[in-house]
Amino acid sequence: MRDFRELKVWEKAHRLTLQVYRITKNFPSDEQFGLTVQLRRAVASVPTNIAEGCGRDSERELARFMSIAGGSASEVEYQLLLACDLNYIQDETYRELNQQVNEVKRMLNSFIQRLTANG
């Protein structure tokens, strides 16, 4: 078992989650049960799956949870684009968050490659 708090990718995913929670507070109230909740669930799924994977017994299982986290990150990537196109977030905010999501995705992919190369 690994301590997920020691992983840079978890730290970055956690910080992204906190930022998304902050920005979604400003989404329209009619999105409370729509895009707001979808985006929050997807973004929280990234560090959650990283943490869960770290609690597993094998590198293979860890890689599977990293892959699930990557899928959630792709979901976040789209939902941020949608929020920007709906003018719920400004272009600059979108670019910053999108850059962070893509950095997390790259880190996850690298981690998965290392894990699968060893096992």
pLDDT tens across 6-37, in order? 999 999 999 999 999 999 999 999 998 899 99
Region 49-62 average pLDDT? 95
Region 26-54 average pLDDT? 96
Structure tokens at 115: 């894990």
Give Cα 105 distance to the centre of its chain: 8
Confidence of residue 119 (pLDDT cuts 50, 70, 90): low
Give the chain's domain count.
1
Region 3-8 average pLDDT? 96
Q: With the C-alpha atoms ordered 52, 107, 9, 17, is the resulting torsion angle positive or negative? A: negative
Full-model pTM: 0.95
* pLDDT tens digit sequence for 76-117: 999 999 999 999 999 999 999 999 999 999 999 999 999 998
Structure tokens at 105: 């995705």
* Neighbour-count burial for 36-71, b at 16+ CB within 10 Å, e otherwise: bebbbebbbbbbbbbbbbbeeeeeeebbbbbbbbbe
Residues 110/75, Cβ–Cβ less than 8 Å:
no
Confidence of residue 1 (pLDDT cuts 50, 70, 90): confident
Q: How many angstroms separate the CA atoms of 40 and 33, rounded?
A: 11
Range of the structural domain that residue 97 is part of: 4-118
CATH of the domain at 55: 1.20.1440.60
